[in-house]
Amino acid sequence: MTRQEQKRASPQTRRRGDALVQSIHEAALAELAAVGLGRLTMEGIARRAGTAKTSLYRRWSAPHDVLLDAIRDEHPQEVASPAADDLRGDLLRALRQLVAWLGTPTAAAVAAIMAERRRYPELARALYERVFDARGGRFTLTVLRFYAARGHIDPARITPIVADLGEALVFKLALDADAPPSEEQLVAIVDQAILPALGLDPARRSGKS
Amino acid sequence: MTRQEQKRASPQTRRRGDALVQSIHEAALAELAAVGLGRLTMEGIARRAGTAKTSLYRRWSAPHDVLLDAIRDEHPQEVASPAADDLRGDLLRALRQLVAWLGTPTAAAVAAIMAERRRYPELARALYERVFDARGGRFTLTVLRFYAARGHIDPARITPIVADLGEALVFKLALDADAPPSEEQLVAIVDQAILPALGLDPARRSGKS
DNA sequence: CTTTTAAGATACGTGTCCGTATCTTAATCG
DNA sequence: CGATTAAGATACGGACACGTATCTTAAAAG
């Protein structure tokens, strides 16, 4: 056993550098979920992260700064690639992905900031500038554009309202029920709202025969 | 000049009874809008109402109680009566009414509670029980049912998703822009989303010729 | 190994809010 | 008018968080 191995055998008690920052980020998101924006404190984040306030103040001047960094680090986002010949399936996949994201601590943080954007305008602005552009990240828009480019959809149908449909309904359902929409509800969103709005109404097509 | 008129001539400095409660209610809603649920305090409400904490504690034990009473008192709601032969116009009227309500302090309070329902479940529950049933108050549903009963709409089209469409889009637009949707946007919601979902697609109808 | 770095622990004065207690006094009642 | 009621003002001890300062010590560097 070399001296290096002996050193490894003793359990580490302190986190340093990136490991510590990662822990603090996770703690910030969890603390936000627990207490909300108005009650987010350095003491709370530090307590939850199991670290000292000094470690936080060495890097950030306020809890909102910690939160923004946490969101940015946890936010990497990939939108599913459309299949090419299954509009309905791809819309469903996109909505499922949205629902999956809604279950993350990051989504909860983004929602909290959006909900209180009038009270914390600087925070909301910083979210846009430092994390994402507000109009980006539409899960269904990628799919719609993909199929319009291939001639499956009349491009004139892809208006801002139609592009917003899927997300608006998912958010509303989630808010009303305080639970993610079911697969059945996602299917209903696609079949009863999105496709009709695109001029591809399943109820009308089956009624053709 | 009688003694009663003399008494009226001296400016009153204190509010009593209902007048005081009304002031406190308004203050509670305004304070909530300013600081949010997490920072709503008795001291804040009292300060804003220009009264003493004792006056609050004589009636309520916590700021959330004040808030609930304020919402209930300010919440009376009337949905516009449909016209009978103007589905599109009535849907627009209903959406305008929703937008008008969204501009009230009460709506902001309801939104705040809904946004933080996971952090304040008791408060959210009390909102449902003491103020309104969660599934009530759908602005467009009254219109849809009215026209279905008259045969203008296939009742099978009025699914929960379709019933939710208008409100979901209005909420999303308002949230994204931090401003009420414009009249043009309301028109787009009706023409591009609601009517197609009802099988009454304007774009398809005009394409008939 | 020693030195350096930064993580962690704690103290401190200040400010805000809580909920209760006490008192003064405007407004209403009889 | 006097008596009663409740509105308003203020004090108080305790809890919590702030941001800064100081010190100890684990971990990394050389």
Q: What pLDDT is recorded for position B208?
A: 40
Q: Which 8-state DSSP code applies to residue B131?
A: T
Mean pLDDT of chain A: 87
Top-level class of domain B15-74: mainly alpha
Closest CA to A85 of A169, A147, A137, A22: A147
Residue A92 has pLDDT above 80, yes or no: yes
Q: What pLDDT is recorded for position B139?
A: 78
Residues B78/B46, Cβ–Cβ less than 8 Å:
no
- Indicate the burial class of A111 (C-beta count within 10 angstroms; 0-12, 13-18, 19 or more): middle
pLDDT digits 0-9 by tens, A129-152:
877 655 445 678 889 999 999 999
Q: Which 8-state DSSP code applies to residue B102?
A: H
Which residues in chain A have their CB less than 8 angstroms from residue B204's CB? 199
Give the integer Cα–Cα distance in Å for A157 and A197.
Answer: 7
Determine the distance in angstroms separating the CA of A148 from the nearest CA of chain B, rounded to an integer. 17
For chain B, domain boundaries: 15-74, 87-203
Residue A16 has pLDDT above 60, yes or no: yes
Q: What pLDDT is recorded for position B131?
A: 76
Q: What pLDDT is recorded for position B2?
A: 35
Which residues in chain A have their CB less than 8 angstroms from residue B199's CB? 196, 201, 203-204
Residue A54 Cβ < 7 Å to strand D: yes
Choose the mutation target among A35, A39, A113, A164 for the interface with B, i.e. most B CBs under 10 Å: A164
Give the integer Cα–Cα distance in Å for A111 and A135.
Answer: 15
Closest nucleotide (C1' vs CA) to B45 is: C17
Which chain A residues in 10-39 sit with Cβ < 7 A of strand D? Answer: 10, 12-14, 16, 39
| Cross-chain CB nearest to A175 (options B36, B114, B193) | B114
Q: What are the Cα distances from residue A110, in Å, to A40, A128, B132, B189?
A: 14, 10, 28, 25
Choose the mutation target among B169, B183, B186, B205 for the interface with A, i.e. most A CBs under 10 Å: B169
Residues with CB under 7 A from strand C: A 13-17, 20, 50-55, 58; B 10, 12-14, 16, 39, 41-44, 53-54, 57, 61-63
Measured from Cα to the C1' atom, the residue closest to D28 is A16
For the beta carbon of residue B96, count every other beta carbon within 10 angstroms. Answer: 17
pLDDT digits 0-9 by tens, A59-89:
999 999 999 999 998 876 666 677 778 999 9
Mean pLDDT by 10 residues, chain B (209 residues): 40 89 96 97 96 96 96 74 85 93 93 94 89 64 91 93 95 92 97 95 60
Q: What pLDDT is recorded for position A77?
A: 62
Q: What pLDDT is recorded for position B100?
A: 92
Q: What percentage of chain A carries pLDDT values higher than 90?
A: 72
Q: Report the residue count for chain A.
A: 209
Report the b/e string of B130-160 with b at 16+ CB within 10 A. ebeeeeebbbbbbbbbbbbeeeebeeebbee
Determine the distance in angstroms separating the CA of A81 from the nearest CA of chain B, rounded to an integer. 25
Q: What pLDDT is recorded for position B132?
A: 66
pLDDT digits 0-9 by tens, A156-205:
999 999 999 999 999 999 998 889 999 999 999 999 999 999 999 887 66
For the beta carbon of residue B3, count every other beta carbon within 10 angstroms. Answer: 7
Question: Per the CB < 8 Å rule, is A176 touching B34?
Answer: no
Banded model confidence at residue A110, pLDDT cuts 50, 70, 90? very high
Q: What are the Cα distances from residue A184, in Å, to A95, A138, A194, B126, B179?
A: 12, 21, 14, 30, 32
Which residues in chain B have their CB less than 8 angstroms from residue A178's CB? 117-118
- Indicate the burial class of A112 (C-beta count within 10 angstroms; 0-12, 13-18, 19 or more): buried
Query: SS3 letters for chain A?
Result: CCHHHHHHHCCCCCCCHHHHHHHHHHHHHHHHHHHCHHHCCHHHHHHHHCCCHHHHHCCCCCHHHHHHHHHHHHCCCCCCCCCCCCHHHHHHHHHHHHHHHHCCHHHHHHHHHHHCCCCCHHHHHHHHHHCCCCCCCCHHHHHHHHHHHCCCCCHHHCCHHHHHHHHHHHHHHHHHHCCCCCHHHHHHHHHHHHHHHCCCCHHHHHCCC
**Which residues of A make CB contacts under 8 Å with B?**
33-39, 111-112, 114-119, 134-135, 157, 159-162, 164-165, 167-169, 171-173, 175-176, 178, 185, 188-189, 192-193, 196-197, 199, 201, 203-204
Give the integer Cα–Cα distance in Å for B98 and A181.
Answer: 24
Q: Which residue of A has its CA nearest to B112?
A: A115
pLDDT digits 0-9 by tens, B18-64:
999 999 999 999 999 999 999 999 999 999 999 999 999 999 999 99
